[in-house]
Structure 1
C-alpha cells in the first residue's frame, strides 16, 4: 500500500514538473500551486526548490505591477531549502540569481543584495562548478548586479551562450532537476530586451518559438520585438 502511494505521488509530481518545464505561464501557475501545497505538507527541499523556481518564471513572464513579491517569496523558500540541506548547490545557485535580480533594481538594493548574491554563487560554485544551473545563476548574477558591485553584462551573456552550446552538443541532465537550456535562451532574450537590444532579443525569442512553436507567450514576444526593430 505504501509503495503504491509513493508511486502515485511520483507520478503526480512528474505531471507538475512537466507543467513547470513547459514555461507556459498558466501551466507554471498550476505547478506553483501544487509545489506550494507540497512544501507546506512536508519538509522537502525539492518541493521548496520547485516552488521557488516556478516563482522565478512567473516573475519574468508576468506584467503585474507588484511582481517583486514573487522574488521575495522565492527567496524565503530557498533559504528554507538550504536549512534542510546546506550542500544543496541548486538552491544556492537559484538564490544567487534572485539576489542578483534584486540587486539590479536600485542602488540601495545593490548595496544589500549584491554581496549576498556573490556569496551564494561562490558557495554554489564551490559545491558543483560544472552544473549548468550553477553556471546559469552565475551568469544572472553578473548580468543583474551593478558593475560597481562586481556585475559584468558581457561576461554573463557569454556564460549563457556557453550553457546553450553545452546542451546543443549533447549534454543531458541527470536527477530530478532538469532545466537550463530553454531558460538560458530566455534569459538572453530578456537581458537583451532590457538593454533595448531588440535585434538580439528577437533572435533568442525566435529560437524559443522554434523549440516550442505552440507557446503563445514566446510568439507574442517575437511579435513585440518585431515592432521595435
Structure 2
C-alpha cells in the first residue's frame, strides 16, 4: 500500500514538472519575438533577445537556463553557417558550461544529453578534422538521450541531424534522418509546442529538405506547403526552398 502511494506521488510529481516546464516556456517573453526574428531572418534581433535572456535568466532556474541554451543553439548554428567560427566557438563554450553544470544536477536528462551531443557536433562543424575522435562522442550523448526517452524532441532532432549531415562513409543516411525528424515533429504536435516555435518550424524545414534530398519530391512539396500554411511569411521556405524545388523539378 505504501509502495503504491509512493508510485502515485512520483507520477504526480513528474507530470507537474513536465507541465510547469512547458507552461513556463510558453509564457516566456522571448518565445514569440525569437520566432519572429527567425522567420524573417533577422539574426541581429535574435542576438538582442538572446542577450536580454542571458542577462535575466536565473542561474538556479532549470527551465530558464534550458531556454537560454536553446537560443545559444540556434545562434551558434547560424554562426557556423555564416563561417563566423571564432564567435561560434565562444557560444559553444558558454553553452557547454551551462549544460555541464545542469548535467551535474540531472545527469540523465535526455534533453541536456542531446544538447551536449549537438554542441560536440558543432565543434566538428567548425573543424571537420576533429570528426575522427569527436564524432563517436557526439553520438554517445545523442543515443543515450533517445535510449532514455525515445520520444524526446531534442534527441530525435540531433539524431536526424547526425544522419543528414554525416558523410555516408561514416554512417550518414538521409533516408534514416527522415524517421527521426518525423518523430520530433510528431512530439512537438502531441505536446502542443507548435505555435510560434522556431524549433518546430526548423525541424519541419529539415524534414522537407530530407525528403527532397532522397527524391521524395511530392512529400517535400507537401511538407513545405504545410509550413507555409501554418507559418505564413517564413522567408526561408517561401522565398527560397519551395520555389527552388519547384523550378528544379519542373513543377
2:203 pairs with one of 181, 184, 188: 184
Are residue 84 (structure 1) and residue 101 (structure 2) matched? yes
Instruction: For 2:129 and 2:178, locate their aligned partners in 1 and report how far apart those are by CA, in whole Å.
Output: 25
2:232 pairs with one of 213, 221, 224: 213
Instruction: For 1:136 and 1:81, locate their aligned partners in 2 and report how far apart those are by CA, in whole Å.
Output: 20
Kept in 1, the 8 Å contact 2:175–2:214? The answer is no
Q: Residue 137 of structure 2 aligns with which residue?
A: 116
**CA root-mean-square deviation:** 3.6
Instruction: For 1:167 and 1:211, locate their aligned partners in 2 and report how far apart those are by CA, in whole Å.
Output: 14
Q: Residue 167 of structure 2 aligns with which residue?
A: 146
Kept in 1, the 8 Å contact 2:34–2:198? The answer is no
Map 1:70-109 onto structure 2 (within 5 A).
71-86=88-103, 87=106, 88-100=109-121, 103=124, 108-109=129-130
Q: Residue 54 of structure 1 aligns with which residue?
A: 74
> Gaps (5+ residues) in structure 2?
1-23, 60-64
Deviation at 1:79, TM superposition (A): 0.6
Instruction: For 2:200 and 2:70, locate their aligned partners in 1 and report how far apart those are by CA, in whole Å.
Output: 17
TM-score (norm 1): 0.70
Q: Residue 163 of structure 1 aligns with which residue?
A: 184
Q: Indicate the structure whose relative CO is greater, using CA pairs within 8 Å and at least 6 residues apart.
A: 2
- Worse overlay, 142-151 or 209-218: 142-151
Work out the number of aligned pairs and report it.
210
Kept in 2, the 8 Å contact 1:89–1:128? The answer is yes
Kept in 1, the 8 Å contact 2:156–2:183? The answer is no
Kept in 1, the 8 Å contact 2:181–2:203? The answer is yes
**Which is greater in Rg?**
2
Q: Residue 134 of structure 1 aligns with which residue?
A: 155
TM-score (norm 2): 0.65
Instruction: For 1:135 and 1:118, locate their aligned partners in 2 and report how far apart those are by CA, in whole Å.
Output: 12
3-state SS of paired residue (2:98): helix
> Gaps (5+ residues) in structure 1?
1-9
